[in-house]
Chain A
């Protein structure tokens, strides 16, 4: 037994921490989807390419053309 160990959170505390982490991950995932970062990852995976400035510009060309041809809501 370590004499000066930090108090460990209780089971309910650990559950709360993991819940907060899960929410944080979900929020980050939403932000990454909104920022097209996830779409870019999918683009790389689908084409088996590596990230590069050129590849990003190529992705943006198509992504943004489609995105801004659609009506934005009021």
Chain B
């Protein structure tokens, strides 16, 4: 029986290797998406069964006889021992945001191969390890946050910088995801009406839950979902109306300002009235769409039309500048390695783990699941004809300002497309145009719509599925904007409290309004900068977000390495050190290139210099300032992480030399009384 088991796992490993080999060596012919699915599934299975189990057993020595914080500190609210699959679902829903959907779509400009390999290998050896180790560390420390652990394990500087880094990332994240929504909805009355309708729907849900049927969240969410679906059909009627169509057809700047106003009100309104019902709805829609997309891909098994590698691996890509190394690894953060996950792994999840062994499927397994979502996003992007993919994702500043010019430029790259093809495609999805819709969301929606429509209904339902996908993306992005602005406000307060005790005592409604304005103004500035950018904004903001997210992962891995070093000495250091070294190389190279590259398309400073050399207008002055600001933000992030890194090296050196306290600061062992298998 044991031999049979070994043979079965050997077969899974061989199958995974064969599929990876097939997608790696395939050139010139479209490849079926099922190769990617099987390669990913087999690699995840082997990683989960062997690597994660090795870490769980040898490195962490997970012990079910040891009571977890959920058991010891049980309060019926945050601390509560919960069934492991429920915690798994909870954790997965918390870590899965727009990142694993948008990043792979943008990185597909290099072809499907680099991004796919990075998603599979990065998640198995890096991202899932980070999530797992941080979850374990937090679980052994009564559910402490990443910032608290950084402060305790590395020092006060580390803790402060971790907080500051998170606030900066949050601001860039909110700006870039807002830009994704703006680019998806500009000049789209169908999409804009549908998203606008979700706001009164959320308010209705809030009132329903509070006064009409208190506590009936699932029932209320089902009603909300039915109303949202109705609003998609309503949007179609609005787009066709000569009166209402133009009202809901907003420019990019008009939409950006609307999102800024939305961000302010959504984060200051009582959470029960707007944010919470919207969050429930968007979580369920998100999970449903992920499952539906997985079923759709398995059922339809579409062929990938994008090649394995495109000419843009050389750094001349229209969607964002920079070579495949390091920019593929920056563009895909969530889905491979995401520092943000460390915040979730040290947030609610460790307080719900009933048995220590549950951290293994929850920490490692959830990340593999998110990685699989990224693979599906890659597939959805690559099922588009390459000409269509580049026409949708390339900014006017690169391909030309008229459809004919854009089609000619893209065709000259070897990806044939015509303005007529694009006009027909736009018509079939109920849009006026699909050119210059940078940001990834529209091309992902097109790919998803193509997969769903091939599952049944054909071209007749393409428009519905396209707008369903846009609604799904915008719904949870706008929820993140509301929640993120609110969290940004608290972080600002925490930071000020660390600087001055008087500032920490600020409160009341006026402080809420002022701090919200500050946070909204910060991300709103970057959003407007992105809208004004002739290169589409995503070109500069998404890499900045990727760099900052990976830098946060470096901070998390520094904390994880320190903990492993204290537990075992240098024996298992490689487990977190290898991904850390890789991330440091990638992020530092990418940051350096973004700041100092002499190519104006890549280096912020070179871009500012080039603009300064040309004719000066108010718009040019703003672009010069923005380029220098982006360089400064990149530089600040780099310096902060360098400080944490140096601080960590100092701590590690002290531990190895025996001049520093190497005691593990875990909560003391208490025997578990939980007999039943939760």
Interface string of A43-61 (1 = CB under 8 A from B): 1011100011100110010
Contact B218 A71 (CB under 8 A): no
| Contact assessment for B77 and A64 in the assembled complex, using a CB-CB cutoff below 8 Å | no
User: Are A34's CB and B280's CB within 8 A?
Assistant: yes
Let me know if A11 is at the binding interface, CB within 8 A: no
CB-based nearest A residue for B167:
A71
B215 beta carbon closer than 8 Å to chain A: yes
A68–B486 touching, CB < 8 Å? yes
> B89 an interface residue at 8 Å Cβ cutoff?
yes
Whether A34 contacts B89 in the complex (CB less than 8 A), given A53-B211, A74-B338, comes out as yes
Q: Is the CB of A62 within 8 A of B86?
A: no
Interface residue B630 (Cβ < 8 Å from any Cβ of A): no
Check if B280 sits within 8 Å of A40, measured CB to CB: no
Task: Check if A35 sits within 8 Å of B221, measured CB to CB.
Answer: yes
Residues of A within 8 A of B51 (CB): none
Rounded to whole Å, the gap between the CB of B98 and the closest CB of chain A is 7
Complex-state Cα separation, A52 to B210, whole angstroms:
11
Size band of the interface chain A makes with B: 35 or more
Which of A1-9, A12-20, A24-32 sits within the interface? A24-32
Residues of A within 8 A of B545 (CB): 74
Q: Are A45 and B340 in contact (CB under 8 A)?
A: no
B347: which A residues are within 8 A, CB to CB?
70-71
Least Cβ–Cβ distance between A47 and chain B, in angstroms: 8
Q: Is the CB of B334 within 8 A of A74?
A: yes
* Contact-residue bracket for chain B: 35 or more
Does B606 make an interface contact (CB < 8 A)? no
Please determine whether B210 and A60 come into contact, CB atoms closer than 8 angstroms: yes
B388 an interface residue at 8 Å Cβ cutoff? no
A24 to B658, CA, bound (A): 54
Q: Does B522 contact A (CB under 8 A)?
A: no
With beta carbons under 8 angstroms apart, the residue of B80, B82, B340, B486 that contacts A73 is B340
Also in contact, A71 and B487, with CB within 8 A (given A26-B85, A30-B86, A32-B218):
yes
Q: How far is the CA of A70 from the CA of B347 in the complex (A)?
A: 8
**Residues A62 and B484 in contact in the complex (CB < 8 Å), given A29-B86, A53-B211, A74-B173:** no
Please give, as numbers and ranges, the residues of chain A lying within 8 Å of B551 by CB-CB distance.
none
Are B80 and A42 interface neighbours, CB within 8 A? yes
A72-B215 contact, Cβ under 8 Å, with A34-B280, A60-B210: no
CB–CB A74/B340 < 8 A: yes
Write out the residue numbers on chain B whose beta carbons fall within 8 Å of the beta carbon of A30.
85-86, 89-90
Quick one: CB contact mask for B159-203 with A, threshold 8 Å, 1 for yes?
Answer: 000000010001001000100000000000000000000000000
Per-residue interface assignment for chain B, residues 478 to 513, with 1 indicating a CB less than 8 Å from any chain A CB and 0 otherwise: 011001101100100000000000000000000000
Give chain A residues whose Cβ lies under 8 Å from the Cβ of B204.
Answer: none
Contact of B348 among A37, A43, A65, A70 (CB under 8 A): A70
* Partner of A71 from B76, B170, B217 at Cβ < 8 Å: B170
Instruction: Tell which of A40, A53, A72 touches B480, judged by Cβ atoms closer than 8 Å.
Output: A72
When A and B form their complex, which 8 residue pairs have the shortest distance between CB atoms, in order from nearest?
Answer: A46-B76, A30-B89, A35-B217, A56-B214, A74-B99, A64-B271, A53-B214, A42-B76
List B residues at the A interface (Cβ < 8 Å).
75-78, 80, 82-83, 85-86, 89-90, 93-99, 166, 170, 173, 177, 210-211, 214-215, 217-218, 221, 271-272, 275-276, 280, 283-284, 287, 333-334, 338, 340-341, 343-344, 347-348, 479-480, 483-484, 486-487, 490, 545, 549
**Besides the contacts A30-B90, A33-B90, A64-B272, what 4 more A-B pairs have beta carbons closer than 8 Å?**
A30-B86, A45-B76, A56-B215, A71-B170
